[in-house]
Structure formats: structure tokens, C-alpha cells
Amino acid sequence: METKIFKLAQINEAANLIKAGELVAFPTETVYGLGADATNEQAVKKVYAAKGRPSDNPLIVHVASTETVANYVQSISPNAKKLMSQFWPGSLTMIFNLKPNAFSKTVTGGLNTAAFRFPDNQATLDLINAAGCPLVGPSANTSGKPSPTTAQHVYHDLNGKIAGILDDGPTRVGVESTVLDMSTDEPVILRPGAVTKAQIEAVIGSIETNHHQVGKNETPKAPGMKYKHYAPKAQVYIVDQDDDWSAAIKWAKEQPFGVGIMAEKRLLTDLKPADNLQTFSLGAGVEDASAQLFAGLRQFDNQATIKTILVQAFAAEGLGLAYMNRLNKSAGGEHFKLD
């Protein structure tokens, strides 16, 4: 199969492929998603096959209106309505209890709930409206790899496996949406994202964050949390403090293999070139760094000579919580330290 790149003027062509049960990757403000008609089980099955995704990991349903959600869910609480009006379209995904058989088990991974998201990207909202159905949309990467923040990242992973990619340039936020479970009495954040706990609490009051580490044979609340994630082939190390960089760079230059360095621009300007070092700027501040994190990991992953990647840590609060959650996973929790 040839994977076609669609420009924004070709949304109707892309929508026709969705209607025909094919897969089209779509842009959002967070990362690119892999779209299929959520009401077509055969189409949704292809999503798991293309990504190599385990079948017990449910998919987010993307909608272009809040009214669509009401068709599928048992009820939308007053708090959920407040969150929708505050954050939709935007980077907040909410999980609701479904009406019986609202979606196939392939969408829900066998759960009685589904996650809904109203993305903040006009091209994709137009695509959903033109296709006339909600779209499932996991991140459009090969399972286990960093999520794609450009159409080229999607093409790299899924060329030949999907019908098309709707190209709207690099995504703005760069880390995936906040996943908030609204299916229980107490709302719980299952995945930190660009909509922060403080922002949610400002609308509905105090909520929980699920910090529980899921065991191998346990069914987690957000099934995706148990899998290896965001991992390039090289070993990633988190560099915690500004002070650690000089030791880290000294160590890197002594290695017989290539080392990739991802840090804010201010930490890279004084860096003396060395044959085995390559740098990738994370810009300035945690917003820039979140937007660039996956692109940097992917750039180094494409170079076989790079065996280690050193990445700057940020304070784990606000958007930094989402950044550090992704970075921790890609590093398997490893921090740079000299012993």
C-alpha cells in the first residue's frame, strides 16, 4: 500500500478513505493520531495491526462536538460539562461509562468505558465532520516508539501500512493529552498532559492523580501505562541538575560511541564540539522542551552510531509533570550519575 500525504485542501479525499474503512493519520495540537472510523470494527482492527499495539489497550474516540459524546455515554455529570466547556477543544481526554454496545470491544479493549477527546485542530475537526463518524486515534507511532509530532514521523513508522496522512505541520504541544477518568465517583488523572491538575481543580475542585505503578500481570486503569513506551534503541539518561551537565559532557566525550545531548539552548551554547557528540536544542523552558522532546528522541534514534542519549530534566509540576512522565518512560527511569 502506498501511503499518501494529504494537504489541507485534500481533507475530503482523506475523509473518503476513512468512510471506506481505511486508516488516515491526523494532526492534533498534541501529537498525530492514527484515525479510523470508530463505528467500523474491521477498520479499528487495522489500527492495532498497523501499530503493533496490544489488543487490551483501548483507544481514544475523537469527536468534533460535545453533543456526539452524549450519543454514546450513560451520562455526563455537571462537572464533566464544566470541564468540556472550559477545555474542549483541547488537550483533556475524559473517560465515561458507555451505553451497552456503544462501541465494539476492539475500541474499548473490553472495558465498559471509553475515552473521549475533542482535539484543537481545525483540519482534524473538518476531517471528522466530513467523514461523518467519530475517529479512534491512538498516537500514530509504532507501538513502543515516541509519539509522532510531524507527518514525517508518522511516515517513518507507518509508511506502507496506512492509506494516508493529513499533514498540518509540527504539533504545538508535543506531549499527549491529559487522561481524566470521569467514570467513577472521584475523578482521577490517569495520564498527565498539557491540561494540568491545577487547571482542572480550578474548575471542579480537588482530584486525585494515579501514581500507582502497574505490575506486569495486573490490569491497570489506563491499560497503556503498563507497556514500554517512548523508547529509542539507544539508552536514555535523565540529567537532573544544571550542575550535572559538565560531568555528563565530560563522560560523554570519553565514550567510544556517539552520544546525543538534548537540553535547553542555554546549556548547549558553551559546549565545545567533539566528534562523538551531537546536540539537539530543547529551546527555552518546559513548553518548548515538551514540544521538542519526541522529535529529538526520534532524530537520534535514526542514527545507529548514537548509543546513549542524555536529556535535561525539568521540575515535575504543571506541564513539567507530563514532560517528566514521558522522559522517565523513555529512559526506563535511568538517571545520569557518576559512581
Interface residues with Mg ion (CB under 5 A) are 139
Selection from ligand TXA, Mg ion, none that 115 binds (CB < 5 to 8 A by kind) is ligand TXA
Upper half-sphere CA count for residue 36 (Cβ side, 13 Å): 25
Contact range with ligand TXA by CB under 6 A, out of 13-21, 57-65, 155-163, 209-217: 57-65
15, 73, 92, 93: which one contacts ligand TXA (CB under 6 A)?
A: 93
Selection from Mg ion, ligand TXA, none that 164 binds (CB < 5 to 8 A by kind) is none
Closest CA to 257 of 274, 242, 270, 276: 276
Per CB under 6 A, does 33 bind ligand TXA? yes
Nearest-CB residue for ligand TXA: 224
Per CB under 6 A, does 124 bind ligand TXA? no
Alpha helices in the chain (DSSP H): 11-19, 41-51, 66-72, 78-87, 105-108, 122-131, 151-158, 197-204, 244-253, 265-268, 286-301, 319-330
> Are the C-beta atoms of residues 236 and 297 closer than 8 Å to each other?
yes
Residues from 286 through 315 that contact ligand TXA (CB under 6 A): none
50, 179, 263, 267: which one contacts ligand TXA (CB under 6 A)?
A: 179
Please state the three-class secondary structure of 263-314 as a single string.
ECHHHHCCCCCCCCEEEEECCCCHHHHHHHHHHHHHHHHCCCCEEEEEEECC
Q: Which is nearer to Mg ion, 139 or 278 (by Cβ)?
A: 139
Per CB under 6 A, does 89 bind ligand TXA? no
Per CB under 6 A, does 114 bind ligand TXA? yes
Which residues are CB-neighbours of 43 under 8 A, at least 6 positions away?
Answer: 18, 21, 22, 23, 36, 37
Q: Least separation, in Å, of the C-beta of 269 and ligand TXA?
A: 32
The pattern of x and - marking residues 243 through 282 that bind ligand TXA according to CB under 6 A reads: ----------------------------------------
Q: In what order do the strands lie in the sheet with 235-239?
A: 235-239, 306-312, 258-263, 277-281
Which residues are CB-neighbours of 162 under 8 A, at least 6 positions away?
Answer: 1, 3, 22, 23, 24, 25, 34, 50, 140
Q: Which is nearer to ligand TXA, 93 or 150 (by Cβ)?
A: 93
Contact range with ligand TXA by CB under 6 A, out of 111-119, 126-134, 211-219, 320-328: 111-119
Which residues are CB-neighbours of 316 under 8 A, at least 6 positions away?
Answer: 324, 325
Per CB under 6 A, does 223 bind ligand TXA? yes
Cell for 313? Answer: 530534566
Per CB under 6 A, does 229 bind ligand TXA? no
Q: Which is nearer to ligand TXA, 34 or 261 (by Cβ)?
A: 34
The residues that touch ligand TXA, with contacts defined as CB under 6 A, are 28, 30-31, 33, 57-60, 93, 95, 111, 113-115, 117, 119, 137-139, 176-177, 179, 190-191, 221-225
